[in-house]
Structure 1
Amino acid sequence: MANIAAGRDPLTTLIEDKGHSVHSLALATFIPETTMRRRIADRDFTVSQIRAIADALAVTPSDILKAAVEHSRSAA
């Protein structure tokens, strides 16, 4: 996974590093964009959404979870 710039959301950084925007990721995963934005903000993904996002980004589901946990730790 890419190095995370200070102060940046790790999941959003991963998405951008893989050449996607939230909009293009939503299209690639068939997750409505409003749902995708809400899930990214809340870190409240279903297992099927995590798999779809991981597949679209060509990473493992654990990479998605690591980015979400890293964000949670930095927000605490």
Structure 2
Amino acid sequence: MPMITVEFTEEELAFAKAHAASLGKSMRSHAHDIILADAQRTAFLQGVDETVAWAMDVFKDMPEGMR
């Protein structure tokens, strides 16, 4: 399985490990979840932008009270 390497200072690593442990997760699991969640959030927001642009175009000619 492909892997990535992320560098932390000793203080950052200790802080991140403690946070992951407080969530009941390993560092590896927590990092995996955060990276995927961020990518999914970005994809979702791009879809929202496209949908809003489409809706604005569809309704642009509607009377003021119906927009």
Larger Rg: 2
TM-score normalized by the length of structure 1: 0.33
TM-score normalized by the length of structure 2: 0.36
* Larger relative contact order (CA 8 Å, sep ≥ 6): 1
Higher helix share: 2
